[in-house]
């Protein structure tokens, strides 16, 4: 589903990704962990071209993202993204946040977009918040709406960029629960996270990044119970 080959990315003098090779199979849930500044968010942002790679190739569902001739907007419609800071549209109600892209891009009728949005709100447990504006929602509710908004484009892949890192601790669970449901339904997911419990429980594969490269990857059991690389061991000893 996703294939990243020899990806390099730097900001000015700062080399963030130094040759990353990475693959995600359909229906797979991959959790990317690692210290701050290791390049995990940048990798995720490269996968839907919010950051432009300096070199290397990225394929989504067989189409090369890094080819300048590829219509990036078409690919992005198939790649949902959930941000650390939610980035809900503050001038739109919850329902409108979800229906905006389907109506404007897929030219769905308002009625069918509303129906789809209410279904998705049901899925994330927020049907009663349909006509509320984002400023009246808690952090956890905002993030669940953001997930519903991304799902409304019926993407083939969902990217999560530290979706619970800016939440109060008591709200982390509700967001992770929604993500777990998605994983069970068979959504292909790449989750950059500091929630080791989630990575262990829900992830099919865990990727440990440090200093711009993938240091070690494997099943959650391999990474958490029996890490081989000293850098993985050092990181896990600090966070677990």
Partner 1 sequence: MPLVEIFGLGIFDSITSQRGYAVVIESFPYFLGGAGYTIALTFLSLSMGMVLGLFLGLGKLSANRILYFLSTAFIDFFRGTPLFVQIFLLYFGVLPLFYDNDPISSAIIALGLNSAAYIGEIVRAGIQAVDPGQQEAARSLGMNQRQAMTYVILPQAFKIVIPPMINEFIALLKDSSLVSAITVPELMHRGDLVFANTYQATWIFASIAVIYFVITKTISTIGDKVERRLATD
> Which residues of this protein are in contact with partner 1, per CB under 8 A?
48, 50, 73-74, 76-77, 79-81, 83, 85, 87-91, 100-101, 104-105, 133-135, 146, 149-150, 153
Q: How far is the CB of 167 from partner 1 (least distance, A)?
A: 16
CB of 132 to partner 1, least distance (A): 11
Cβ 90 to partner 1 shortest distance, Å: 5
Please say which residue, 20 or 159, places its beta carbon nearer to partner 1. 159
| DSSP collapsed to 3 states, the chain | CEEEEEEEEEECCEEEEEEEEEEECCCCEEEEECCCCCCHHHHHHHHCCCCCCCEEEEEECCEECCCCCCCHHHHHHCEEEECCCCCCCCCCCHHHHHHHHHHHCCCCCHHHHHHHHHHHHHHCCCHHHCCCCHHHCCHHHHHHHHHHHHHCCCCCEEEEECCCCCCCHHHHHHHHHHHHHHHHHCCEEEEECCCHHHHHHHCCEEEEEECCEEEEEECHHHHHHCCCCHHHHHHHHHHC
Q: 103 or 214, CB closer to partner 1?
A: 103
For residue 36, give every residue at least 6 positions away whose Cβ sits within 8 Å of its Cβ, in sequence order, or none.
none
With beta carbons less than 8 A apart as the criterion, state whether 148 and 156 touch.
no
The token pair at 37 is: 């500044």
Q: Least CB distance from residue 19 to partner 1, whole Å? A: 25
Cβ-based nearer residue to partner 1, 155 or 220: 155
Q: Minimum CB separation from partner 1 for residue 231, in Å?
A: 30
Query: CB 169 → partner 1: shortest distance, Å?
Result: 23
Looking at the Cβ atoms of 98 and 176, the one nearer to partner 1 is 98
If the CB atoms of residues 69 and 238 are measured against partner 1, the closer one turns out to be: 69
Separation between Cα atoms, residue 224 and residue 196, nearest integer Å: 9
Find the shortest distance in angstroms from Cβ 79 to partner 1. Answer: 8
**Of 157 and 214, which has the nearer Cβ to partner 1?**
157
- Would you say 86 or 235 has its CB closer to partner 1? 86
């Amino acid at each position: 589903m996703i294939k990243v080959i020899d990806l390099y990315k730097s900001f000015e003098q700062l080399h963030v990704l130094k040759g990353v090779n990475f693959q995600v199979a359909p229906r797979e849930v991959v959790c990317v962990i690692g210290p701050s500044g290791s390049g995990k968010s940048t990798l995720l942002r490269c996968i839907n071209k919010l950051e432009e790679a300096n070199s290397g190739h990225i394929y989504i569902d067989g189409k090369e993202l890094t080819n300048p001739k590829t219509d990036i907007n078409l690919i992005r419609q198939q790649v949902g993204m959930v941000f650390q800071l939610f980035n809900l549209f503050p001038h739109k109600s919850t329902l409108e946040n979800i229906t905006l892209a389907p109506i404007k891009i897929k030219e769905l009728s308002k009625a069918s977009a509303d129906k789809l949005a209410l279904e998705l709100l049901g899925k994330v447990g927020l049907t009663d918040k349909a006509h509320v504006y984002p400023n009246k929602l808690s952090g956890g509710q905002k993030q669940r709406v953001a997930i519903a908004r991304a799902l409304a484009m019926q993407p083939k892949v969902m990217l999560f960029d530290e979706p619970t890192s800016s939440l109060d601790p008591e709200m982390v669970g509700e967001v992770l629960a929604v993500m777990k449901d998605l994983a069970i339904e068979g959504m292909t997911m790449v989750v950059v996270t500091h929630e080791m419990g989630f990575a262990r429980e829900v992830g099919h594969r865990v990727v440990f990044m440090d200093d711009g490269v993938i240091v070690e990857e494997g099943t959650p059991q391999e990474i958490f119970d029996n890490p081989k690389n000293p850098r993985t061991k050092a990181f896990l000893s600090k966070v677990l």
